[in-house]
Amino acid sequence: MQQVMFIVISAVTLISGALVVTTRSLFRSALWLVLAFFGIAGLFVLLNAEFLAVAQILIYVGAISILIIFAIMLSRGVMDPETRRFNDQWGVVAGFTAVLLVLLVAILTRVQWPLAAGAVPADAIQRLGADFVGPYVIPFEVASVLLVAAMIGAIIIAREREN
Amino acid sequence: MLSQYAFIGVFAIIAFALPVIGLVMAWLLRPKKPNPAKNATYECGMETFGDTWVQFKAQYYLYALVFVVFDVEAIFVFPWAVAYNKLGLYALVEMVLFVLILLGGLLYAWQKKALEWH
Amino acid sequence: MDYVLDFFVNLGRSWTTWLGTFLPEWGVTIINYLVGGIILVLMPVIATLTLTWMERKVIGRIQNRLGPNRVGPWGIFQAIADAVKMLIKEDIIPDAADRPVFNLAPILIAGAAALVWAVMPFGKGVIGVDLNVGVLYLVAVGSITTVSVIMAGWGSNNKFALIGAFRGVAQLLSYEVPMILSIATVVLLAGSMSTMRIVEAQQIPFIFVLPVAFIAYFLASAAEVGRAPFDLLEADSEIVAGYFIEYSGLKFGWFYIAEYGNLFAVSAITATLFLGGWRGPFSHQAPVLGPLYFIIKTVLVVFVMMWIRGTWPRFRIDQMLGFAWKVLVPASLANLLWVAIVLKIALPTIVQWALMLGGNLLILVIAAGMLGRAAKRHAEQRNLAPLSSGAA
């Protein structure tokens, strides 16, 4: 049963991912991206990583796809029905995507992946929290610095554009 | 735990099927008489003038960006909150540092008027 | 008698055993999923039917008039009349609308409104699924609403709908942060993200320990649902019905159901997080009373929201967004840190709670003081008569 779910969810994710780059309307490709994000969340659930699944939906669907859609809107003329932005190179892109798919499958099936033994512990989220302030505290703090840096950078660029 | 998400999956299918069923019912029941006046875009009762093109203010993008930053911060807070009772004082100190850095960013955005609406 | 005391759980068990006598185990599971799913999916629909009536009566009384009273005794069938009307109205799709996107938006938003009910703790053991990440699931499903708002605005091919959608999304995003932060504070106090365990951790309802988190969550969720005083987008005098302007018939109906379903859902979440959910007198001996207490508390919160809608003036969009980022977010962060600090002080729980309450009240006083001073400064800038001091 789990195999079936895995195949279905992976198919959804991969197909919507391919549609992101080959769809003709920019807005629609953003929507396909949202579907791909949902698919990834489903994959996280299948891996028993429920916190990551909800975090994926919360951040990617809830925030980042909105950001991407807003960025699309910022490009001028996207809403003018006469010049609806069309993806003219979709043929080339589709071909390239197919080549990339074959390449990735070939590589991924040949690598010996180190598999962690045992099941996911029941208190996975507590361990995650403990690890944030324990062994991985430096990346944790650096993450906050990175976030603030991104925010400051974007504000500076936006302000410059206005002045 | 996986069975819990199986329920969510089934529930999601039902939850999205309900509006579809409702809309199909409505499609069967309602009149269909399109005419150009009804199908035209609504603009306070007048004819539309100009294209459907709006100047998209960069302000919207800034709100979305600050939101992304604080959303990610909140995601970091949750596992820490769940594990908090079993951790020592260092957990508190490190989170205070984390939050203060982000508060600094918020203050910067506030000063630079990135949070104003023009 | 014992059976009745824990009626819902025992009913579920008897039903499952009865099904087990003639179905294989996977059959029983599927049937249970379907039954549970259908019952929960009907929650937003029931909410709309009852709450719209309640709202029109309550607002009517606040405005010194009667509200609907023609369709059935006290107008209780008004909602059904409205539903029938929406079903049979013509569905007008504007010319250059992006059809799949246009049609998908109401389906997504109505589905999201139904999905939240999977983790609502109606009573001890009476819940859809008790996810380990329950409250985070609630917020995540709420973010699906944001995407469907943009889809509605875009799909309508109407610049008013688009502007309305952008403003709506800006409002939704801005208030999601204080919402998540106050939920995080409750999670910190309860030590778990599971809705069931948060209710069980409330020996005293958290509203008495974390009033700032309660206020922040209450206001933020009112803004998320689009209720007054944050209903800039749907207000009658405003940008003409915002992002769902081009929707007619049942598609508009689904937006409406989603709104009232969300209202009921956030009231239920408020009751769960801050009012003790299904806890109440004798709820330990007779767990069957749990859902009753839960519904009563939820309706109470709904009533307060309707009361506020009928009494407070509306916010302007810049005031609204400024309030979210400059008042609610810093207050929620300060509250989070204060609770974290207090929890690390080794004192009996009651004393810890009292300290948290004290800190919360301090935050409230500071916030009110700063708001009062900002208001006075604003009034003086516009050369209005100075407000009598006493703005604490």
Amino acid in the structure at residue C270: T
DSSP track, C257-315 = HHHHHHHHHHHHHHHHHHS-TT--TTTTT-TTHHHHHHHHHHHHHHHHHHHHHHHSPPP
Global model pTM greater than 0.90: no
> Do C204 and C354 meet the contact criterion of CB atoms below 8 Å apart?
no
Is the minimum CB–CB distance between C173 and chain A shorter than 8 Å? yes
B89-115 pLDDT, tens digit each: 888 888 999 999 999 999 988 888 877
Question: Do residue A70 and residue B72 have CB atoms under 8 angstroms apart?
Answer: no
C164-218 pLDDT, tens digit each: 788 888 888 999 999 999 999 999 988 888 888 898 888 888 888 899 999 999 9
**Average pLDDT rounded to a whole number, residues C106-117:** 90
pLDDT band at C390 (very low <50, low <70, confident <90, very high): very low
- From CA C264, how far away is CA C44, in angstroms rounded? 7
CA distances from C300 to C60, C268, C276 (A): 18, 10, 13
**Share above pLDDT 70 across residues of chain C, in percent, rounded to a whole number:** 92
Q: Give the mutation candidate from A37, A136, A144, A163 for the B interface (greatest B CB count, under 10 A).
A: A144
> Do C353 and C209 meet the contact criterion of CB atoms below 8 Å apart?
yes
Chains that touch C (3 or more CB pairs under 8 A): A, B
Question: Do residue B71 and residue A66 have CB atoms under 8 angstroms apart?
Answer: no
pLDDT band at A77 (very low <50, low <70, confident <90, very high): low
**Average pLDDT rounded to a whole number, residues C46-50:** 84
| Number of Cβ atoms within 10 Å of the Cβ of C73 | 7
CB-nearest to B8 from C118, C158, C330 is C118
Residue B42 is assigned to a structural domain of this protein = yes
A93-102 pLDDT, tens digit each: 888 888 998 9
Which SS3 state, helix, strand or coil, does residue C205 take? coil
CB-nearest to A62 from C132, C146, C193 is C146
Q: Is the pLDDT of residue C249 over 80?
A: no
Report the domain count for chain B.
Answer: 1
Burial A50-69 (b: 16+ CB within 10 A, else e): bbbbbbbbbbbbbbbbbbbb
**Share above pLDDT 90 across residues of chain A, in percent, rounded to a whole number:** 33
- From CA A154, how far away is CA A160, in angstroms rounded? 10
φ/ψ of C126, rounded to 5, equals: -105, 90
C373-383 pLDDT, tens digit each: 888 887 777 76
B30-66 pLDDT, tens digit each: 777 666 666 666 555 555 555 555 566 778 888 898 9
B19-22: list long-range contacts, CB under 8 Å, 24+ apart.
B19/C106, B19/C107, B19/C110, B19/C111, B19/C254, B20/C107, B22/C87, B22/C250, B22/C253, B22/C254
- From CA C165, how far away is CA C159, in angstroms rounded? 10
C307-318 pLDDT, tens digit each: 888 888 877 777
Q: Which two tokens stand for residue C13?
A: 């068990």
Residue B46 is assigned to a structural domain of this protein = yes
Where does chain B have alpha helices with state H?
Answer: 2-29, 36-39, 58-83, 89-111
> According to the model, what pLDDT value does residue C238 have?
58
Does the CA dihedral C55-C56-C62-C63 come out positive or negative?
A: positive
Amino acid in the structure at residue C329: V
> Do C33 and B10 meet the contact criterion of CB atoms below 8 Å apart?
yes
Q: Is the pLDDT of residue C340 over 50?
A: yes
Residue numbers of the domain that contains B105: 2-111
Residue B71 is assigned to a structural domain of this protein = yes
Specify burial of residue A82 (Cβ count, 10 A radius: 0-12, 13-18, 19+).
exposed
Question: Do residue B62 and residue A158 have CB atoms under 8 angstroms apart?
Answer: yes
Instruction: Note the residue count of chain B.
Output: 118
> According to the model, what pLDDT value does residue C392 have?
43
Is the minimum CB–CB distance between A3 and chain B shorter than 8 Å? no
CATH number of A2-119: 1.20.120.1200
> According to the model, what pLDDT value does residue C204 have?
86
Q: Give the mutation candidate from B4, B41, B80 for the A interface (greatest A CB count, under 10 A).
A: B80
- Range among B34-48, C71-85, C357-371 rated most confident: C357-371
ipTM computed for the complex = 0.85
Residue C224 bridge partners (DSSP):
none
C270-308 pLDDT, tens digit each: 999 999 888 888 777 777 888 888 999 999 999 999 888
Task: Read off the CATH number of the domain in which B85 is found.
Answer: 1.20.58.1610
φ/ψ of A86, rounded to 5, equals: -110, 150
| Number of Cβ atoms within 10 Å of the Cβ of C3 | 12
Q: Is the pLDDT of residue C237 over 70?
A: no
Specify burial of residue A111 (Cβ count, 10 A radius: 0-12, 13-18, 19+).
exposed
Residue B34 is assigned to a structural domain of this protein = yes
Question: Do residue C143 and residue A63 have CB atoms under 8 angstroms apart?
Answer: yes
